[in-house]
A and B are shown apart, each in its own frame.
Chain A
Amino acid sequence: DTAVSQTPKYLVTQMGNDKSIKCEQNLGHDTMYWYKQDSKKFLKIMFSYNNKELIINETVPNRFSPKSPDKAHLNLHINSLELGDSAVYFCASSQGHSTSPLHFGNGTRLTVT
């Protein structure tokens, strides 16, 4: 059983398109996150939701819009994709904000051409 699953695994698209990445966790956690890993492997938080409420919104362009329909799901929609958006996007979850381990999905490799 996959604990944190995200789809698709790979996403290749052209500049200007809109795309979505979906994430689901079956760990019963109440907090979910989106992290971005760039080409140099640097990981940076983008968003965090606790019980469907947005609690962290880093300096991310407003072309990125997260949505959490329930505490087990956190999706990421990206409008007007740019070359610089190419990266690996990881979904993650934890129980509570900072008192338990973070569990990552397997990542979505986004390539914008």
Chain B
Amino acid sequence: GIQVEQSPPDLILQEGANSTLRCNFSDSVNNLQWFHQNPWGQLINLFYIPSGTKQNGRLSATTVATERYSLLYISSSQTTDSGVYFCAVGGGGTSYGKLTFGQGTILTVHP
């Protein structure tokens, strides 16, 4: 199956700093999504981005499918950005929407 590796595993920032999270995957995909799990355990979908670039406020994401990686950018970080960020990917064919998750990046933003 597809392997997904996220880096860094942990990231500690001061409020206002910018950061880049990376997701590498081992095979071609037709489905890539980024999620934020907040400290209360809720999983929030940030981006559906199998290719290209998207922006939503202070967050943006870029997926270069041909090179098998995706990046999540967080600008002017806030304490509410803390939590775990997951990248999840799915292949075509008979994957039927099965997403394989990375191990996550734990982000802590200090005031």
Contacts and interface: CB of A to CB of B under 8 A. Distances in A.
Interface of A: 31, 33, 40-45, 48, 50, 55-56, 58, 88, 90, 94, 96-104, 106-107, 109
B97 interface: yes
B89 to A, nearest CB: 10
A98 B45 contact: no
A96 B95 CA distance: 12
Q: Is the interface of B mostly helix, strand, loop or mixed?
A: strand
Interface bracket on B: 20 to 34
Contact of B33 (A31, A96, A102): A102
A99 B37 CA distance: 22
A98 B31 contact: yes
Interface stretch (B14-22, B72-80, B99-107): B99-107
Contact of B41 (A58, A94, A106): A106
B42 A98 contact: no
Given A45-B98, A56-B98, 18 more contacts: A33-B97, A41-B103, A43-B88, A45-B99, A48-B97, A50-B96, A56-B96, A88-B41, A96-B97, A97-B95, A98-B31, A98-B97, A101-B45, A104-B35, A104-B44, A106-B42, A107-B41, A107-B42
Nearest to A97: B97
A102 B45 contact: yes
Contacts of A109: 41
Nearest to B45: A101
A41 B96 contact: no
Nearest to B42: A106
Given A55-B96, A104-B43, A106-B41, A99 B101 contact: no
Nearest to A9: B41
B71 interface: no
